[in-house]
Amino acid sequence: MTKFKTIIEPFKIKAVEPIKFTTEEEREEILRKAGYNVFNIPAEDVIIDLLTDSGTNAMSSKQWAGIMDGDESYAGSRSFFRFEKVVKRITGFKHVIPVHQGRAAEKILFSIVAGPGKFIPNNTHFDTTRANIEFVGGTAVDLPIPEGVQPDVWHPFKGNMDVERLENFIKEKGPENIPLVMLTVTNNSNGGQPVSMKNIREVKEVCSKYGIPLFLDACRFAENAYFIKKREKGYENKSILEVVQEMFSYADGCTMSAKKDAFANIGGFLALNDDELAIKARNVLIVTEGFPTYGGLAGRDLEAIAQGLEEVIDENYLVYRIRSVEYLAEKLIERGIPVLIPPGGHAVYLDARRFAPHIPPEQFPGQSIVVELYRVGGIRGVEIGSVMFGRKDKETGKFIPHTMELVRLAIPRRVYTQSHIDYVVEVITEVYKNRDKLKGYRIVWEAPLLRHFTARFEPIE
């Protein structure tokens, strides 16, 4: 960009939203009322909200203009055709089906192809992806590379799928029981880590050998493409659009949450090539979402998504985006705080096992850190560990921990500035200094599916 090393936000701010400040005593009371689950805390009472990068993006003035300009016609909306054109240019897929968010695309897809006796491999399933497969009786299988589950091992593409395990798995279960293979780019549940182009290509080769379609869970396709450009040989001189198009060229379809790499506050799509599958998908769409030219969205949302998709492949934006996440990780590492390395595209993950080694996984060390970050500094992160993915053995009832105990600090796109992040560093440093005093938690109430959203906890005294 320039000869200077300071990477600046590639935008100016023209609308602001005030932050409400709370005291530590107030937050203590808020936590108690929330059952020590930060999903139950009113957002107004959060100072810096790093719960998720989903739907929390700051939209551009052009996206807001699109909101005013959206065509709200029931059928054949102009905004749909703009949306469809942009999605087709980026993904190359023949059929574009708008939905209200990513999980609606998953629900449509898996209610058609998954079911009892069916297996869906992924590098690592996101929680809603897994839930939608299990909801229809299928089995979600994670096949990350070994480095992918070691938080302190550096690897440029920790999001990769283990191709050899994939092939063995297909042989073991039979290709007829595997309706599709998925690759999540970037691999959110595994630390927001990228998948290399080589890995996408190799996974596709295995899929083709057994006649299985490959789908991308494409929520963060642009962040993934930037990592490929930065870290994979042969891509340094390609444009982000070229990298993105090549990524999608190996896939037969994708699910997408526009709440991530489309800078929208709501929306998503299912895109695919297979004509028959598209007919079935549109049939479910009409019953559960809406008419095919709006899906679960208003015309204005389609307009905002189309504009956002054009903005997200701007390399100046991606340089700033990836660098600002890396900046937070770097500051924490300098202070000796254990984080997953390398930092992901959309979030920094604290390694709770090393942060609070005195708390065993069944007492949720990640949850303990999440609670403390809120109490001390009003920062809201999220546990991605045994609260989210821990299970009980069906026969013995024994606790099975998740492979990693992480605390995700997701960075909303274009929302916080460097001084917000410096404050976050200070708060985490304070919590880390007093880490010996962190307590374990037990669940006092939980729902049967996706329990982390609503569970209630109490500290173990």
Ligand X SMILES: *Cc1c(COP(=O)(O)O)cnc(C)c1O
**Where on the chain is the footprint of ligand X (CB under 6 A)?**
54, 101-103, 126, 128-129, 184, 188, 217, 219, 257, 259-260, 268
Which residue number, 56 or 368, has a Cβ lying nearer to ligand X?
Answer: 56
Q: Which is nearer to ligand X, 407 or 431 (CB)?
A: 407
Closer to ligand X at the Cβ: 149 or 333? 149
Is 126 or 457 the residue whose CB approaches ligand X more closely? 126
Beta bridge partners of residue 6, listed in sequence order: none
Nearest alpha carbon to residue 51 among 309, 338, 388, 401: 388
Q: Which is nearer to ligand X, 262 or 313 (CB)?
A: 262
Smallest separation (angstroms) from ligand X to the CB of 104: 7
Q: How far is the CB of 218 from ligand X (least distance, A)?
A: 8
Give whichever of 101 and 386 is closer to ligand X, judged by the CB atom.
101
Q: How many angstroms separate the CA atoms of 105 and 271, rounded? A: 9
Write down the least CB distance from residue 257 to ligand X, Å: 3
Pick from 93, 129, 108: which is nearest to 296 by CA? 108
First-to-final CA distance of the chain: 54
DSSP assignment of 83-117, as one string?
A: HHHHHHHHH--SEEEEESSHHHHHHHHHHHH--TT
Q: What are the C-alpha distances in Å from 216 to residues 128, 187, 240, 249, 372?
A: 15, 11, 17, 11, 36
The CA distance from 398 to 206, in Å, is 36
Write down the least CB distance from residue 127 to ligand X, Å: 8
CA distances from 439 to 47, 101, 328 (A): 23, 36, 25
- Residue 170's Cα: distance from chain center in Å? 26
394 Cα distance to chain centroid: 28
Q: Which is nearer to ligand X, 74 or 453 (CB)?
A: 453
Where are the extended beta strands (E) located within 153-235?
Answer: 181-184, 214-217
CA dihedral sign of residues 276, 281, 286, 291: negative
| Two structure tokens written together for 434 | 């007093």
CA distance 64 to 300: 9
Q: Name the residue nearer to ligand X (CB basis): 133 or 359.
A: 133
Helix (H) or strand (E) holding 188: none
CB 262 within 8 A of CB 308: yes
Residue 50 has phi, psi (to 5 degrees) of: -110, 30
Shortest Å distance, C-beta 397 to ligand X: 30
Minimum Å gap between C-beta 239 and ligand X is 24
Select 55 or 92, whichever has its Cβ closest to ligand X.
55
Torsion of CA 236, 242, 243, 246, to 10 degrees: -130
Return the number of the residue (109 or 431) whose C-beta is nearest ligand X.
109
**Minimal distance, residue 192 CB to ligand X, in Å:** 9
The closest residue (CB) to ligand X is 102
Q: How far is the CB of 225 from ligand X (least distance, A)?
A: 15
Q: Minimum Å distance from CB 159 to ligand X?
A: 10
CA distance 290 to 265: 19
Whether residue 36 contacts residue 457, with contact meaning beta carbons closer than 8 Å, is answered with yes
Contact yes or no for 361/441 (Cβ under 8 A): no
Taking the complex as a whole, the smallest distance from the CB of residue 19 to ligand X amounts, in Å, to 24
Peptide bond into 186 cis (omega under 30): yes
- What minimum distance in Å lies between the beta carbon of 252 and ligand X? 17
User: Cβ closer to ligand X: 227 or 457?
Assistant: 227
